[in-house]
Amino acid sequence: MSTHRQIFYHIIFGTKHRQPTIAESHCHELYNYIFGIIKKMNCHLYRINGTEDHLHIFSDLHPSLSLADYIKDIKVASSLWMKENGHFPTFTAWQDGYGAFTYSTKEKDTIIEYIKNQKEHHKKESFYDEYKRLLRENGIAFDEKYLL
């Protein structure tokens, strides 16, 4: 019998110290590179987008992977690529942590649209405020001193 799954994750992580190091002129190259990483791990990318200081990824998770390893592999491979290709000269690293939120099939289109509109969204809400809101909406306790 085959393994079947439906594990949707909305993953968010930022650049180290939230530095604006993801140039809009080259962000689509980064998104395509991350798409390739995700595809190689037998996962499906539904949407990726972000701003100059953070990314949102909405994907499923293959049952053979742990969430921590999945995110680590994305961050390590994309970090190396960003440092080597020359289009992100001020990028130093991704932040250590991340946010990962699960969603149901019924919420899938809403999350895809939310991620699609990140650049517009962040004209009204900062990354810091967005992240705190998402933590609260998902019932996740946090200490603000670890969010900076």
Question: Could you tell me the domains of the chain?
Answer: 8-146 (3.30.70.1290)
- 98-112 pLDDT, tens digit per residue, is 999 999 999 999 999
Query: Tell me, what amino acid is at 86?
Result: G
Phi, psi of 20 (to 5 degrees): -80, 75
pLDDT at 92: 96
pLDDT in tens, 76-89: 999 999 999 999 99
pLDDT band for 4, please (50, 70, 90 cuts): confident
> Strand 45-51 and strand 99-103: pairing?
unpaired
Distance of CA 107 to CAs 10, 104, 134, Å?
A: 11, 5, 14
pLDDT tens figures, 10-52? 999 999 999 999 999 999 999 999 999 999 999 999 999 999 9
If you write DSSP's letter for every residue of 91-135 in order, what string do you get?
---B-S--EEEEE-GGGHHHHHHHHHTHHHHTTTS-HHHHHHHHH
